[in-house]
Structure 1
Amino acid sequence: MTLIGLSTASVYPESTAHAFGYAAQLGYDAVEVMVGIDSLSQQTSAIKQLIDHHEMPVCAIHAPCLLWTQRVWGTEPWGKLERSADLALEVGADVVVVHPPFRWQREYAAGFVDGIAALESSTGIAFAVENMYPWRASSRRGMEMYLPSWDPSQHNYANTTIDLSHAAIAGSDVIEMADRLGDRLRHVHLTDGSGSAKDEHLVPGRGVMRAGEFLGHLAERDFAGHIILEINTRRCSTRDERIADLAASLAFAREHFAVRTN
């Protein structure tokens, strides 16, 4: 069964604990834990307590591979992925979301595709490689900052993630990308973007990515992975505003993913 979950990144600057509370309050199916600078996100025992307290499962762990989490769990990239898999196994998640290496991580990048396959074989966890984007300061041509590529459909990964905000920056058609990935699409970061150079993570339906049509397409394909709301609520000035955006995102997902499943 497809789970519609909430990324803990969606409540930043509030904590991982707050994310579990919002997810339970609003009726999400599960949580994706972004391992980051919030110490709770790094602690197996704390996450287990949140799972039990809120009766809210964790379906995925997002490995600490963002620019601002480069020093979380050390700086050795394979070690960070191994720890992410260990955390996933401990808390009952079946997916680790991972970004492709940065271009300056050349040794890591050189063995990335085969290394991900080896980790999946040794751990039993799906490492769903996420689509990224060229870096650009304007509408002009971007610079390739990820190796072996920002587009996971170009490589033989067994499991992948589509993020609609990243696709907006890259100018990617997410429905075409989903078709290229086929059964290898395991995980979705449902959000939106305007097509600017910024990674906006808008509430789905508030951008140009045809998020509703994308969900309908997934439903027609009998998509059985995770749909995770990963939105930016940092500009919300009150708790009520944040709750409203999280609730609207969940309602959008349920409406559009279900529209063609009857």
Structure 2
Amino acid sequence: MVRIPDAKVALSTASVYPESTATAFEMAGRLGYDGVEVMVWTDPVSQDVEALRRLSDYHHVPILAIHAPCLLITQRVWSTDPWTKLQRARSAAERLGASTVVVHPPFRWQRQYSRDFVSGIWRMADETDVRFAVENMYPWRYRDREVLAYAPDWDVTKDDYRHFTVDLSHTATARADAMSMVDRMGDRLGHVHLADGNGSAKDEHLVPGRGNQPCAELLERLAGGSFDGHVVIEVNTRRAMSSAEREADLAEALAFTRLHLASSAGSAAASPVAGPAAESRAPLPRVSHGRPRIRRT
């Protein structure tokens, strides 16, 4: 007996770059994705709530998540103030019916923002039903040197957040144990960016199955547990020689994800990350969702 979990599989609009946000909606609808995650960036359509609503309605593709403009290239998108960016992301999510806002930890040079980030994310999460899911990042590398670009930390499990996003391309770049990180996230894992990587200093975002990350294992464990978030395909297709080649990569990623999300009904477990590979690990303590103890940096 096979059980298909409730987790929806979405396409990140970043996955069609350099094509447009509008193209992402079209491809997601044609390939059978359950929805999209909108990466808010320099494409004006990605910043326009009404334009996004029209695309969603036209293609019958729900918007499941908003990725706040946290990248270096989006420093001036939706204001230069990082808290204003998050407020606008929350407003967009509420107006579009998205359940999640994905946010990166601050850059280290954003000193005031990074000092207040943990408590500020809790404060914003208390004001809405939208999840603020903080995403794991990675140290930047130049030759044999590491540069710690994010604060409080690129490993977001070192701080206390209500919800996390795990990104498996980022665990590859960080050369971190992805499944151990997922274990530390426990029942606070609320969102997944599915991609692959080989441990390069570059953030590769390969199609799942083309690198060395435990993409299949993670999906199977999510399917066997109580994970109630979304799985988002966030891959790099900019080397595709044609739109048809890009679409083939996105179809392969969707097929891989649906295959490994299908699980034996008998393997279901209470933990959102439980599964056969987790049996040898010690049980996770349940994390309180009350007010956090903030680590000052």
Give the Å deviation of 1:189. Answer: 0.4
Q: Distance in 2 between matches of 1:235 and 1:257?
A: 28
Counterpart contact for 1:164–1:189, Cα < 8 Å:
yes
Q: 1:116-127 counterparts in 2 under 5 A?
A: 116-127=121-132
Matched, 1:160 2:164: yes
Q: Per the alignment, in what secondary structure is the counterpart of residue 255 of structure 1?
A: helix
What's the secondary structure of 2:114's corresponding residue?
Answer: helix
Cα pair distance change 1:261/1:191, threshold 3 Å? farther
The answer as to 2:112 corresponding to 1:107 is: yes
Q: Which moved more, 1:230-239 or 1:141-150?
A: 141-150
- Distance apart, 1:21 and its partner CA: 0.5
**1:49 aligns to what?**
54
Secondary structure at the aligned position of 1:115 is classed as: helix
Which residue of 94, 99, 107 corresponds with 1:94?
99
The alignment's C-alpha RMSD in Å is: 1.0
- In structure 1, the residue matched to 2:181 is 177
- Deviation string for 1:67-115 (max 9, x for gaps)? 1111101110000000000000010001000000000001000000000
% identical aligned pairs: 56
1:153-232 to 2 correspondences below 5 Å: 153-232=157-236
1:76-87 aligned within 5 A? 76-87=81-92
Q: Does 1:240 align with 2:244?
A: yes
Asked if structure 2 preserves the Cα contact closer than 8 Å seen for 1:219 and 1:261, the reply is no
Give ranges in structure 2 of 5+ residues lacking alignment.
1-5, 267-297
Question: Could you tell me which residue of structure 1 aligns to residue 289 of structure 2?
Answer: none
Of 62, 70, 80, the residue aligned with 1:65 is: 70
Amino acid paired to 2:86: L
Match of 1:233, SS state, is: coil
Structure 1 partner of 2:288: none
Please give the alpha-carbon distance, in whole angstroms, between the structure 2 residues aligned to 1:230 and 1:251: 14
Gaps of 5+ in 1: none
1:150-197 Cα distance to aligned partner (Å, 9 max, x none): 111111100010001110011111111111111100000000001010
Q: Bigger CA drift: 102-111 or 213-222?
A: 213-222
Task: Identify the match of residue 142 of structure 2 among 137, 162, 174.
Answer: 137
Aligned-partner Cα distance in 1 for 2:265–2:51: 37
On the 8 A contact 2:196/2:212 being kept in 1, the answer is yes
Aligned to 2:26: 21
Conserved 8 A contact 1:175-1:217: no
Code of the aligned partner of 1:232: N
Change (3 A) 1:91 1:229: same
Matched residue, 2:285: none
> What TM-score comes out, normalization by structure 2 length?
0.86
Distance 1:81 1:226 in 2: 20
Question: SS of the residue aligned with 2:70?
Answer: coil
Q: Amino acid of the residue matched to residue 57 of structure 1? A: P
> For residues 8-30 of structure 1, what are the alpha-carbon distances to aligned partners after superposition, in whole Å with 9 as ceiling and x for unaligned?
00000111110000000000001
More helix per residue = 1
Structure 1 residue 253 and structure 2 residue 266: aligned?
no
Matched residues in 1 for 2:214 and 2:68: separation? 28
Distance 1:234 1:104 in 2: 29
Q: How many residues get paired?
A: 261
User: How far did 1:260 drift?
Assistant: 4.0
What is the aligned counterpart of 1:9 among 11, 14, 33?
14
Residue 277 of structure 2 corresponds to which residue in structure 1? none
Contact persistence 2:14–2:39 (CA under 8 A)? yes
**How does the TM-score come out when normalised to structure 1?**
0.97
> Contact 2:173 / 2:200 at 8 angstroms: preserved in 1?
yes
**Which amino acid counterpart does residue 242 of structure 1 have in structure 2?**
R
CA contact (8 A) 2:7 2:231 kept: yes
